[in-house]
Amino acid sequence: MKNLFDLTGRVAIVTGASSGLGVEFARALANQGADIAIVARREEKLKEVQKEIEKIGVTCRYYVCDVMQTDQIKSAVEKIEKDFGKIDILVNNAGLGLVDAADKTSDEMWRNMVDTNLNGVFFFAREVGKVMLKQKYGRIINIGSIHSTVSMKGMPVTAYCSTKGGVLMLTKSLATEWAKEGITVNAIGPGYFALGMAEGVVADPEFAKIIEFMCPMGRAGQTGDLDTTVVYLASEESKYITGQIITVDGGWTAL
Please report the pLDDT score of residue 4 as a whole number: 87
Please report the pLDDT score of residue 154 as a whole number: 84
pLDDT above 70 (res 35): yes
Model confidence at 62, in pLDDT bands (50, 70, 90)?
Answer: very high
Give 102-120 as a DSSP string.
Answer: GGG--HHHHHHHHIIIIIH
Tens of pLDDT, residues 102-133: 999 999 999 999 999 999 999 999 999 999 99
Mean pLDDT over 42-54 rounds to: 98
pLDDT above 90 (res 36): yes
For all residues of the chain together, what is the average pLDDT?
A: 96
Q: What is the CA radius of gyration of the chain?
A: 17
Catalogue all structural domains in the chain, each as residue range(s) with its CATH number.
11-190+226-246 (3.40.50.720)
DSSP H/E element including 142: strand 138-143
Cα 223 from Cα 27, distance rounded (Å): 11
* Contact criterion met (CB below 8 Å) for 136 and 182: yes
Three-state SS at 62: strand
Cα 223 from chain centroid (whole Å) = 15
pLDDT above 70 (res 1): no
pLDDT above 90 (res 197): no
Model confidence at 217, in pLDDT bands (50, 70, 90)?
Answer: very high
Active site residues: 160
Please report the pLDDT score of residue 3 as a whole number: 87
* Contact criterion met (CB below 8 Å) for 214 and 255: yes
pLDDT above 70 (res 65): yes
pTM for this entry: 0.96
In terms of Cβ atoms closer than 10 Å to its own Cβ (0-12, 13-18, 19+), residue 26 is: buried
